[in-house]
Amino acid sequence: MTATTPNAVSSTAPSAAPAWGRGIENQRRANLGDGTYRNPVMGGDYPDPTVLRVGDRYYLTYSSFESSPGIVLWRSENLVDWEPVGPTCPEPWGSVFAIDLVEHAGRYYMYIPFMPTSWSRVDAPTIAVMWADDVEGTWHGPIDLGLRGYIDPGHAVGEDGERYLFLNGVARVRLTPDGLGTVGEVEHVYDGWHYPEDWVVEAYSLEGPKHVQRDGWHYLVSAVGGTAGPATGHMVIVARSRSIDGPWENMPTNPLVRCTDAAQPWWSRGHGTLLEGPGGQWYVIYHAYERGAQGLGRQILLEPVDWTDDGWPVARGGDLTAPLPLPGGGSQQRPHGVVLSDDFHAPAWGWRWTFDRPGADETARAAFTEAGLVLAGKGQDPASASPMTVRAPDRSYRVEVGIELLDAAGTGDEPTGAGTTAGLLLFFNHRLFLGLELAAGRLQAWTGGTRTWGSQPLPEGTRALELALEKHEHIVQMYYRTLGQTEWTHYPLTLECSGYHANTANDLVSLRPAVFAAGPGSARITDFRYRAL
């Protein structure tokens, strides 16, 4: 098939980004500055990480789901301090599931599962490929590989020099030499490792096969146990063979990584990639939920791996309560990462802002100006408005923003903008969110995805406010003030959000700060501020 227009990595990503979680932004530094690090290495919802080493630098991407633009690339020199390069796919074909980022013969590839959505170009799970000659340059594609009904592609090169894709199940298909097509039929090649029947897991769900070669062995690193559900479900398993064609021998000490007790700090540990880190030390990088903070989504963990004399990997992070040696040694905190606060003078798609349930051209609703973001209204309420969301990395934080209601012509006049609302939310999905909605002369609270019975009257004609949400663990307080005021007024309602997570809503996302505009007009949104507490 012919590729779509080549995609350049976004130039809106910072070339020298401020420190990940500098003091006013995020207090959960991974790099502790004393020669050690603490997990997570990327706080917030970054599921299904895939990592590629290019020289002395590492590149990472993850499941971007319905983000448009999507498939955001990150880079690091030590696997701990990450900074965004930018989104590589301006118009994904659907919801993006677990990717494999690889290099072959000097060219870079991303094998991508696109899932059907209300707006997607695909009507079944579809595997596609994008490629680039420079990992930070122009990405071409997507190109349809003609694979339907599969997810979680994992690229491999056999001892025969042929290229393959492993798929969930675990199945396998051969690729053409250029990696942009398939040859022959999909075949089932591996049954996985079966855990004891008395283990408490969500489902077997053999998925996420990643291939790595070491000392003449082919290793398959897969996930079983289901990605949410019980804390003890998800896990990383390993098998090996001398041939890409098998037979595959399961590791005697499987699983490589698993939460064995719900009292441990990280739950549902799975979907791992094995790779060699700085200085020759091996690591497994994977995702997990934080105990007591499942609303943050699946965060990225990094764990050192040693090899036994007979060639099996052993993860040595334990339950991850103690700091671990910083990859590559040294003790300096490196100035990588992102700041979540935004003045809206320029777009920051993918690595800061993403739309919920976007259309393919959703970013056209947003105009970035010196006076702030002008966001065109969509739908009739927060649920149908495709809010702009940002991933929260902290258990407790405060967000503030300025909101001004505009009419369809972009002014503050009432008649043609009647019915326009806008606000600030903590948003899990269109069925489950909370926060404040400003309408002309009225402030309305939402909780559990529904309007509350009461609302807060405002002085007649009020169309501009500053709003704030303060989340202390699971307790949420809401505040507002008119522009120019110094004192905040507490909205007379206190909310609780411990149930805003995947096991409640059956959606593998996270609770995110969000702004929205609904109705026929638009809203000017200014000075978004995020501060960890």
Instruction: Assess contact for 185 and 167: CB atoms under 8 A.
Output: no
411 DSSP 8-state letter = S
Q: What is the DSSP string of 177-207?
A: TTSSSEEEEEEE-----PPPTTS--S----E
Is 48 a known active-site residue? yes
Instruction: Find the catalytic residue in 66, 100, 152, 207.
Output: 207
Residue 496 is among the residues annotated as catalytic for this protein: no
Under DSSP, is residue 25 helix (H, G, I), strand (E, B) or coil?
Answer: coil
Please identify which residue in the block is written with the tokens 């200014």: 526
SS3 content of the chain, % helix, strand, coil (to 5): 5, 45, 50
Rg (CA), the chain: 23
Cβ neighbors of 368 (< 8 A, separation 6 or more) are 344, 345, 346, 347
Tokens of residue 481, six digits = 């003030």
Cite the DSSP H helix spans in 406-530: 502-505
* Residue whose token pair is 């503050």: 412
State phi, psi for 239 to the nearest 5 degrees.
-140, 160
Cα–Cα dist 406/385, whole Å = 16
Report the SS3 class of residue 415: helix
Give the Cα separation of 136 and 100 in Å (integer).
16
Place of tokens 């012919």: 2
Tell me the pairing of strands 138-148 and 154-157: unpaired
| Residue among 494, 490, 492 nearest 475 (CA) | 494
Considering the candidates 25, 48, 66, 342, report the single residue annotated as catalytic. 48
* 187 CB-contact burial (10 Å; exposed 0-12 / middle 13-18 / buried 19+): exposed
449 closest CA partner among 495, 508, 480: 495
Please state, in angstroms and as integers, the Cα–Cα distance from residue 215 to each residue in 163, 238, 363, 458, following that order. 19, 16, 48, 70
| Torsion sign over Cα 529, 344, 42, 277 | negative
CA 253 to chain centre: 30
| Token pair in block for residue 182 | 């398939």
Rounded Cα–Cα distance for residues 172 and 518 (Å): 46
Containing H/E element for 502?
Answer: helix 502-505
Question: Cis peptide before 40, with omega less than 30 degrees from 0?
Answer: yes
Just list the catalytic residues: 48, 207
